[in-house]
Amino acid sequence: MKDSKFDDQSFDYIVIGAGSAGCVVASRLSEDRSITVLLVEAGPEDKSWTIDMPLAVESLVSGNEFNWQYMSEPEKYLFGRQVDHPRGKVLGGSSSINGMVYTRGNALDYDGWEQTYGCTGWSYADVLPYFKRSETFHGEGNDYRGRHGPLRVSRPDVTKDPLQAAFMEAGKQAGYPTTDDSNAYQHEGFHPSECTIYGGRRWSAARAYLSPDVRRRANLTISTNTLAEQIVFAGKRATGLRVRKNGQSSVISARREVILCSGSIGSAQLLQLSGVGPSDVLRAANVEAVHELRGVGANLQDHPDITLQVECRQPLGLAPFTKFPRKHLAGAQWFLTKTGVAASNQFEAAAYIRTKAGVCYPDLKLEFLGLAFQPDTFAPYPGYSFQIHMTLMRAQSRGSLAIKTNRATDKPCLKFNYLEAEADRESFRNALRLTREIVAQSAFDPYRGKELAPGKDVHTDEQIDAWVASRVGTAYHPSGTCRMGSAADDDAVVAPNLKVRGMENIRVADASIMPLVVAANTNAPCIMIGEMASDLIRGRKLAPERRPHYVAEDWMTSQR
């Protein structure tokens, strides 16, 4: 690793964005010592205890030190509310500020990419080897898990915490399946929630793929605090990147390719700033068109999220650790030994379930947390409490991203259109009623107090719809703005080889390529995308692995 004064103004590959996928691409490409790689990151180095400490995640997503702090436009179906969208602006990207939950998604997510959207080579059999190559799983192994990859993945013991254990037992009592490994044969069901934590520390993409040995490679240059302003083209061929660092603008040449790994917001924004996108968006922002591609910034998706919150009748959960003295003692324990409550992200029990009969595979995620936060804040309710996140995995509403100006420092216009689709409102109604049923099981009898939100008076469809519109937020998984598709798909931005359609020497590799967001937290899938991208660039591919996967036999007629 060299400090990026750009002594050498030309590199074989320029990777833009050191996030979940970008770290992987830069690391894998630079394994070939005959080529040179520049990794550009707008944010700083990932040197902070707040990044390392798993329980410090709240300070990262609410702060501005490592966060782009995007905000949606007023959302029409949310009473005009704006929704915060934190994204990582630091080495590691959002993997350095996220909740550290490791989930891959359902096999049918990836089979759907190939069968429905024409993404040849992206079926579950194709992506499974790359999930395996990326990870070292610290748990009971099976044919679906990796043992020698750079990403450390751990599984918590949910029996240690009475509330997490009650959630798991309540799922069984309500008739739902359980699965020991939701990242293997059976995705559906109640399960221990795996995490990218090892030795009590966050294991981000930067820690995994940019180890000290990797950073010392002479052929890899990592440039932090460097803003990508515009991709440089000669006709339709990408030839380099204009960046700004320390107030100075430079143009760096790419001899082979430019690879965008800036996320669903950053990649679409930079393409538009560079003249690639819908002509009306470019014209309105006073950007000279290089290539009209109407799909850039379209198909914006997310996992909308809301929480059922309940008072706890026993002194359990995280409430004692939010104030002196136990908060400070927990911090001291972590600093000294990397153990204790601060060494966990506290999202240790979860479930993937279906909201109704006729849904083939899970479209709802439930995630348990032993503390309830007051609306629109990270301030806990007084006393003891818990909450269950209800997150739609396949929301039907679609939004868009559009630059407002031709300046890279100006944030784009983000319209998610949450709850525009009636199907999403129906799914949230079902989600609340199903989650209330789970909390009503006898496993929660010793702990269940009054319902804090939405409260006992919210029952009718109209009441639930109003509550959801007033409170729904994001699970922090924007996707789809440069979606992948076949040559016959006029709305696709990249081909299955991740090359931008109609252009040369430029690819996209991050969550923006997802034609349909997967039923998972998106960090692990983005790392897989980075692994796939690096092999596609190098002209090689791991052999597919065809493994069976679970589908409920009676899914057409039964919700569980």
**DSSP E strands, 304-428:** 304-312, 349-353, 364-369, 385-392, 400-402, 413-415
What's the pLDDT at 6?
63
Q: What is the enclosing helix (H) or strand (E) of 423?
A: helix 422-439
pLDDT digits (tens, 9 = 90+) for 475-524: 999 999 999 999 999 999 999 999 999 999 999 999 999 999 999 999 99
Is the model's pLDDT at 215 over the cut of 70? yes
Alpha-carbon distances, residue 373 vs 44, 293, 310, 327, 369 (angstroms):
30, 42, 10, 17, 10
Q: What is the enclosing helix (H) or strand (E) of 173?
A: helix 162-173
Average pLDDT of span 162-190: 99
Do 520 and 105 form a contact (C-beta atoms < 8 A)? yes
Is the model's pLDDT at 411 over the cut of 80? yes
Residues 6 or more apart whose CB falls under 8 angstroms from that of 73 comprise 82, 413, 414, 415
Return the half-sphere exposure (C-beta side, CA atoms, 13 A cut-off) of residue 242: 14
What's the pLDDT at 1?
47
What are the structural domains, with CATH classification, of the chain?
1-152+196-300+399-414+478-548 (3.50.50.60), 157-192+304-392+419-471 (3.30.410.40)
pLDDT digits (tens, 9 = 90+) for 272-296: 999 999 999 999 999 999 999 999 9
Residues 6 or more apart whose CB falls under 8 angstroms from that of 336 comprise none
Which SS3 state, helix, strand or coil, does residue 154 take? strand
pLDDT digits (tens, 9 = 90+) for 418-469: 999 999 999 999 999 999 999 999 999 999 999 999 999 999 999 999 999 9
pLDDT digits (tens, 9 = 90+) for 358-375: 999 999 999 999 999 998
Is the model's pLDDT at 3 over the cut of 80? no
Q: Rg of the chain over CA atoms, in angstroms? A: 23
Which residues make beta-bridge pairs with 241?
231, 252
pLDDT digits (tens, 9 = 90+) for 74-87: 999 999 999 999 99
- The most distant pair of C-alpha atoms in the chain lies apart, rounded to whole Å, by 69
User: What share of the chain has pLDDT > 90, as a percent?
Assistant: 97
Please name the amino acid found at residue 349.
Answer: A
User: What share of the chain has pLDDT > 70, as a percent?
Assistant: 99
**Token output for 334:** 């972590």
Residue 466 gets the label, from left (phi > 0), alpha (psi -120 to 50) or beta, of: alpha
Which residues make beta-bridge pairs with 30?
none
Which residues make beta-bridge pairs with 38?
14, 221
From 138, 389, 477, 549, active-site residue = 477
Return the half-sphere exposure (C-beta side, CA atoms, 13 A cut-off) of residue 188: 22
pLDDT digits (tens, 9 = 90+) for 128-154: 999 999 999 999 989 999 999 999 999
Q: What is the enclosing helix (H) or strand (E) of 152?
A: strand 151-154
Do 534 and 29 form a contact (C-beta atoms < 8 A)? yes
Q: Calculate helix-pair angle for 523-538, 124-134, nearest 10 degrees.
A: 100
Alpha-carbon distances, residue 428 vs 133, 211, 390 (angstroms):
36, 42, 8
Band of pLDDT at residue 378, cut at 50, 70 and 90: confident
Residue 545 gets the label, from left (phi > 0), alpha (psi -120 to 50) or beta, of: beta
Residues 6 or more apart whose CB falls under 8 angstroms from that of 369 comprise 318, 346, 347, 386, 387, 388, 389
* DSSP assignment of 461-479: HHHHHHHHHHH-EE-S--B
Band of pLDDT at residue 5, cut at 50, 70 and 90: low
Band of pLDDT at residue 376, cut at 50, 70 and 90: confident
- Verify whether residue 459 is a known catalytic residue: no
Residue listed under structure tokens 């409920």: 552
248-260 and 237-245 strand pairing: antiparallel
Q: Average per-residue pLDDT in the chain?
A: 97
